[in-house]
Amino acid sequence: MRLPRFLRTARALALAALVPVVVTTLPGEVPCCDLSYRVRPDPEDSAVDVALEIRGFHGDTLVLARPSSRPLVGLLGQDPVVDGVRRARWGLVGGEPRWTYPRPEDGWDEPIRVRYRLAITSRRPLNAWSVGLDRDLLYAPSEALFLLPAMPDLAARNAPVRVGWDLPDGWHSFTGWSEDAFHGTRQLLKTNILAGDIERRAATACGLEIDIAVYGEWTFDPSIIASDLARLACVARYRLGPPRSERYAVTLVPARFPMTSGNRNGPNAIGFVHLLPDGSPPPTRLLAHELVHQWQRFDAPMWFQEGVNDYMGIRLAHEAGLVADDELSGLLDAIDSVYRANPRRARWSFDDEQRLAPPFGPSDEYLAYRKGALVGLALDRELRLRTGGEVDLATLWRDMNQRSTWGHVRWTDAEIAARAAALAGGNVDRFFARWVNGTETLAPPARLLAGLPPARTPPARVSALGAVAAFLELGLGRPILEP
């Protein structure tokens, strides 16, 4: 028998009173380090020179790392030189290159001075994860430019980082952060770097600011991108709740040859490297995919993080009026066609692909991207049909985001299934066994869309009691309130 609402509320609050309060006190000083970078692009030499000063380091060994195992096309790096320290040992850890320097007999200089040079072999980037340097352009994900000293996690989150630029005449830099100052190295690494002869565009909507830096000549007005992103952001805020940031920094750069590529590089940065023969702007699906990433406060398996994200982006673009009904069907049919043509579709589960597939290939090669999008549609359908539209995929998304506030950031398949079951009011093990953990072929999109109940209007805000329930579930290991 279900208890009346006021009794369920009283029960949750009584249990909350039993949970001990934990007070965390941060130390007065962040352990290592204060970092200052000076970046000087030299288009004549096709190189970027970087000088780094490290203050407050007192360890026995200095480790400098390029914090990315991703192949950064167009980049050739020389070994960094630390003033007054003998040559480093070089190695790879998890695919990331690292240089290790022993403590000098007389101790470390204050500051420690590091110099290194990056040779840029491409005038234009190949895709959003590559680099390019031309007479009036430098484009790079920040992980391509900045070597980082290994430091405790607390410092990575909080250490002050400054970036100064020695730019050729007429150049300007754009990182999306004010005054090129960063709160911790993690923030530094979660942005795109664009410097050169760039133009700025802006849009404001639904309390969000979108700042776009544009390089190159385009046959379309780049303001269209700002307008479309603003419309998408309004719908995302309506369906998925408040974003992590109230301001988004977007870069648009021509690609080396016809293609289109985007990346989400942190909580407020999106980069597009783009060039199509007909001169059209980046497709709405790509804009929506990258923007929806900004509403992900969780880390989930790739099929959800990328594939379900792709479906959610298409759905929100449809709700924003950027994708018509026939275009919605066409986009989903195109995804379905790639999925059915995948030679490993009947043999590999998502877990199999994660273990066995080579990384960093085109997204069409991965079931996680294309089958994952269709699983997102199927899961949206499953939740709506079970609840008459009261619960949908956006409800699950908001729930996962809310729980990240209480420390639940990394999600497994089983945890996603458990939350979907709780929201739907019934077991979803068979759904996950067939489509997520299994290799059964999904129904075509037309069947998955047929008879789909409309999603209800999301709540204006999450109640305080809902936050208490989430905290209690996280702490006690089981749900306290029914969703």
Place of tokens 């996280």: 474
* Last residue within a domain, chosen from 143, 162, 191: 191
Q: List, for residues 8-50, the tens digit of each pLDDT value.
A: 555 544 443 443 333 333 344 445 789 999 999 999 999 999 9
Inside any domain, residue 275: yes
69 against 352, higher pLDDT: 352
Same domain, 354 and 421: yes
Tokens at residue 357, please?
């597939």
Q: List, for residues 138-172, the tens digit of each pLDDT value.
A: 999 888 899 999 888 877 888 889 999 999 999 99
Query: What does pLDDT average to over the chain?
Result: 85
Q: What is the pTM of this model?
A: 0.81
Percent of all residues in the chain with a pLDDT value above 90, rounded to a whole number: 52
Helix pair angle (5-18, 464-476), 10° resolution: 50
Same domain, 464 and 329: yes
Same domain, 60 and 144: yes
Same domain, 313 and 385: yes
Same domain, 307 and 275: no
Kindly tell me if the per-residue pLDDT of 478 is higher than 60: no
Contacts of 423 (CB under 8 A, 6+ apart): 383, 387, 391, 395, 396, 399, 483
User: Is the distance from CB of 212 to CB of 252 less than 8 angstroms?
Assistant: yes
Residue 40, domain CATH: 2.60.40.3650
366 against 278, higher pLDDT: 366
Same domain, 399 and 337: yes
Inside any domain, residue 18: no
Inside any domain, residue 207: yes
Q: List, for residues 406-426, the tens digit of each pLDDT value.
A: 888 899 999 999 999 999 999
Helix pair angle (309-319, 223-240), 10° resolution: 100
Q: Would you put residue 201 in left (φ > 0), alpha (ψ -120 to 50) or beta?
A: beta
Q: Tell me what pLDDT residue 91 has.
A: 87
The band of 276, judged by pLDDT with boundaries at 50, 70 and 90, is confident
Separation in Å, CA 205 to CA 202, 208, 231, 240: 10, 5, 7, 16
Cβ atoms < 10 Å from Cβ of 437: 15
Report long-range pairs for 204-209 (Cβ below 8 Å, ≥24 apart).
204/230, 205/230, 205/231, 205/233, 205/234, 206/230, 206/233, 206/234, 206/237, 207/237, 207/246, 208/233, 208/234, 208/237, 208/243, 208/246, 208/247, 208/248, 209/246, 209/247, 209/248
The band of 336, judged by pLDDT with boundaries at 50, 70 and 90, is very high
Inside any domain, residue 152: yes
The band of 457, judged by pLDDT with boundaries at 50, 70 and 90, is confident
* Last residue within a domain, chosen from 148, 171, 191: 191
Does an H or E element contain 259, and which?
A: strand 259-264
354 against 152, higher pLDDT: 354
78 against 288, higher pLDDT: 288
Task: List helix spans (H) across 53-206.
Answer: 142-145, 153-158, 185-189
The band of 468, judged by pLDDT with boundaries at 50, 70 and 90, is very low
Q: Tell me what pLDDT residue 460 has.
A: 57
Inside any domain, residue 294: no
Inside any domain, residue 11: no
Q: Tell me what pLDDT residue 398 has.
A: 96
174 against 477, higher pLDDT: 174
Separation in Å, CA 18 to CA 11, 15, 320: 11, 5, 45
Same domain, 173 and 214: no
Inside any domain, residue 296: no
How many residues comprise the chain?
483
Widest distance between CA atoms in the chain: 77
- Alpha-carbon distance 370 to 4, whole Å? 44
The band of 188, judged by pLDDT with boundaries at 50, 70 and 90, is confident
User: Is the distance from CB of 47 to CB of 117 less than 8 angstroms?
Assistant: yes
**Cα torsion 146, 150, 153, 154: sign:** negative
Kindly tell me if the per-residue pLDDT of 428 is higher than 70: yes
- Alpha-carbon distance 416 to 210, whole Å? 31
Place of tokens 């982006």: 313
Kindly tell me if the per-residue pLDDT of 482 is higher than 80: no
Q: Tell me what pLDDT residue 356 has.
A: 95
Domain of 204?
198-280
Q: Report how many domains make up the chain.
A: 3
Bridge partners of 304? none
User: Is the distance from CB of 278 to CB of 342 less than 8 angstroms?
Assistant: no
Same domain, 320 and 335: yes
Contacts of 313 (CB under 8 A, 6+ apart): 232, 285, 288, 289, 290, 291, 292
91 against 380, higher pLDDT: 380
- Alpha-carbon distance 274 to 290, whole Å? 14
- Alpha carbons within 13 A on the beta-carbon side of 427: 3
The average pLDDT across 318-341 equals 97
DSSP single-letter state for residue 305? I
Same domain, 235 and 325: no
Contacts of 479 (CB under 8 A, 6+ apart): 422, 469, 473
- Alpha-carbon distance 333 to 444, whole Å? 8
Same domain, 356 and 433: yes
Kindly tell me if the per-residue pLDDT of 1 is higher than 70: no
Same domain, 267 and 310: no
Nearest to 193 by CA among 151, 144, 235, 229: 144
Nearest to 312 by CA among 327, 332, 298, 297: 332
The distance in angstroms from the start CA to the end CA of the chain is 16
Q: List, for residues 379-409, the tens digit of each pLDDT value.
A: 999 999 999 999 999 999 999 999 988 888 8
User: Is the distance from CB of 372 to CB of 261 less than 8 angstroms?
Assistant: no
- Alpha-carbon distance 32 to 29, whole Å? 9
Inside any domain, residue 13: no
User: Is the distance from CB of 131 to CB of 144 less than 8 angstroms?
Assistant: yes
* Last residue within a domain, chosen from 191, 220, 239: 191
Place of tokens 């909580």: 267
Same domain, 468 and 335: yes
